[in-house]
Chains A and B, each alone.
Chain A
Amino acid sequence: MPEPPVPPEQPTPPQRPLRSMPPGPHLSGGGRAPEDGAIAATGMGGAMDLATEEGASLGKPPGPDAGGPQDRPRSLWSDAWRDLRRNPVFIVSALVILFLVVISLWPSAIASGNPLKCDLAKSQEGSQPGHPFGFNGQGCDVYTRTVYGARVSVTVGVCATLGVSILGSVLGGLAGFFGGVWDAILSRITDVFFAIPVVLGGLVLLSVVTSSTVWPVIGFMVLLGWPQISRIARGSVITTRQHDYVQAARALGASNSRMLLRHITPNAIAPVIVVATIALGTYISLEATLSFLGVGLKPPTVSWGIDISSASQYIRTAPHALLWPAGALAVTVLAFIMLGDAVRDALDPKLR
């Protein structure tokens, strides 16, 4: 049987599959040409990349059975909460974080000593009754200092994350919502920040600061960290903006501010929360790294970073002085990563 003439070819439009890094949400949002995804790695190290990937995969539009428009945010979050309550990973990491918060607020509850009281005669001594973790190079009690160190580390992590999240999501969200020139400018600015290696920027910026408070370190983290969140927020807002129910709200004449607050924010915020949770862990780790390089916090502040850094000189003779604060740091970072991971899994409609 002779066939009718073949219709002209209709090649499928190029679809860029999810790239590992931030382009993810932008792609599903469709608002980004491939070339805009140029600067992909975060430069903040694997953990931050992990964070952005986790967030990115959340930015994809939900499946067809995601429920009605109005109750979607509520059901998404309440479903997530129901999942989380049964997830042992979430419970354990949440308990670890709760414990950390408690001892940062009331360190004396579990450590009766004074972290600044040191006895050089006991320098580098090992574990002994009343001093389970032994003493560090200056003869300070490692246990007491590890407990007290939580406060500064948690403060830095929480403040930096809050600053980064607020600045990043407001700038990124507005750019994603309104688009146009400001969006283009913001994208270029974030590219600029991504091009500067974080540790290097920290060295340059903090080496000239003489203040011994935590604020310069937090300020630096906000300065170099906000583009990360802003990208996630922007992509997430662009994706949400294209959902049918948002288009419907626009068609019904909702004002910009109402659309942003009532429809977009509740749905676009999930990836930001996940990324911010994991980022919190990385900021604590970054503070320690900067302190190790001698530009972070400075004594007499008590922080894990300072203690690890000072203990590194005695690592051959008194490794315990390094291992305890380093262990505490690692457990903290791990707890935040696992928490973010669990929240992401719970919020991902695909996994239901």
Chain B
Amino acid sequence: MGRYVIRRLLQMIPVFIGATLLIFLMVNVMGDPVAGLCGDRQCDPATAAQLRKEFGLDKPVWQQYATYMGNVFTGDFGTAFNGQKVTELMSTAFPVTIRLTVVAILFEIVIGILLGVVTGLRRGRPVDTGVLLVTLVVISVPTFVTGLLLQLLLGVKWGWISPSVSSEAPFDELIVPGLVLASVSLAYVTRLTRTSIAENRRADYVRTAVAKGLPRRRVITRHLLRNSLIPVVTFIGTDIGALMGGAIVTERIFNIHGVGFQLYQGILRQNTQTVVGFVTVLVLVFLVANLLVDLLYAVLDPRIRYA
């Protein structure tokens, strides 16, 4: 197991470098990092050149990247052009997005799995068909439309929630945004659980459990669920990274000052350091989540043995 973890960590390195380099190139080569500095006016050439030198932008790109990564590993994500430290922005933005993601994951676990189990056990009945249809509709409507509509109905028309989230973003204000963020994954978790349950329901070991004279409840929870949820749990785990990266749309709709908001601002103002810094952390989160999921997999399914 230990050797496996080390091998996986080593494998993560090229992926990490590749992904961050890709983003670094996109931001630095395709955009002009200096252009954002002079506001709406055109920079005059002399100032631009001086700024370039100051930020090391006159050096070759690979050297810039190496310097940047070197700094990142000493905890220095650089400074946004407005003088604020990028780490400072992170320390305010990440807790908000993490809270939002936690709410979304909880929705996926509680509602998604529940619906999936119910429909999987009642395959072909009206409740199954109904839920399946709803999941398809949820998947088909883009998240930002779902978000706008929920905001309009719950926030404006019925006044159940405040249409925008305050800057502290406590958990109770994040319930509806969390649901919006989770919606598509939620529908997918439902379908995945349903398929998995329906498939395993006919499995030989479930028949054995019934033949052993176990109560129906125990057959379902201990034998059927335990096996059926393995792919679901792994999906939810890998979804963490995707949710944090995808929160940008939800955060924009509900005016949540999280990672997505900072990134959006960074991109609009061509704030290279902010963008690359945030994306680097997101990529790391994604990779670590995937690693944890693989280890979890081994715990849940004893057939997997890592040499």
Contact = CB atoms under 8 A, between A and B. Distances in A.
A195 B144 contact: no
* Residue of A207, A293, A319 contacting most chain B CB atoms (<10 Å): A207
A196 B22 contact: yes
Contacts of B38: none
A38 B297 CA distance: 11
A45 B291 CA distance: 20
Interface string A315-351: 1100100100010011101100110000000000000
Contacts of B140: 47, 281, 285, 330-331, 333-334, 337
Contacts of B304: 14, 16, 34
Interface stretch (A136-144, A186-194, A232-240): A186-194
Nearest to B133: A334
B142 A208 contact: no
B234 A204 contact: no
Given A40-B238, A204-B275, A45 B185 contact: yes
Contacts of B290: 38-41
Interface stretch (B43-51, B117-125, B164-172, B280-288): B280-288
A326 B143 CA distance: 11
A21 interface: yes
A38 B242 contact: no
A45 B267 CA distance: 22
B34 interface: no
B248 to A, nearest CB: 6
A281 to B, nearest CB: 7
A315 B294 contact: no
B249 A188 contact: no
B268 A207 contact: yes
Contacts of B268: 207
A203 B137 contact: no
**Chain A interface size, under 10 / 10 to 19 / 20 to 34 / 35 or more:** 35 or more
Contacts of A47: 139-140, 184, 188
Contact of B19 (A18, A195, A315): A195
B95 interface: no
Nearest to B230: A17
A315 B148 contact: yes
Nearest to A36: B11
A41 B16 CA distance: 16
Interface of B: 4, 7-8, 11-12, 14-16, 18-19, 22-23, 26-27, 30-31, 136-137, 139-145, 148, 152, 156, 184-188, 191-192, 230-232, 234-235, 238-239, 241-242, 244-246, 248-249, 252, 263-264, 267-268, 270, 275, 279, 282-283, 286-287, 290-291, 293-294, 297, 301, 303-306
23 contacts: A16-B301, A19-B231, A20-B234, A21-B238, A40-B238, A41-B238, A43-B245, A43-B286, A45-B184, A46-B139, A49-B185, A53-B192, A193-B19, A197-B282, A203-B264, A207-B31, A312-B148, A316-B152, A326-B142, A329-B145, A330-B142, A333-B139, A334-B137
Q: Which 6 A-B pairs have the closest CB atoms?
A: A197-B245, A46-B188, A192-B18, A41-B238, A46-B184, A334-B140
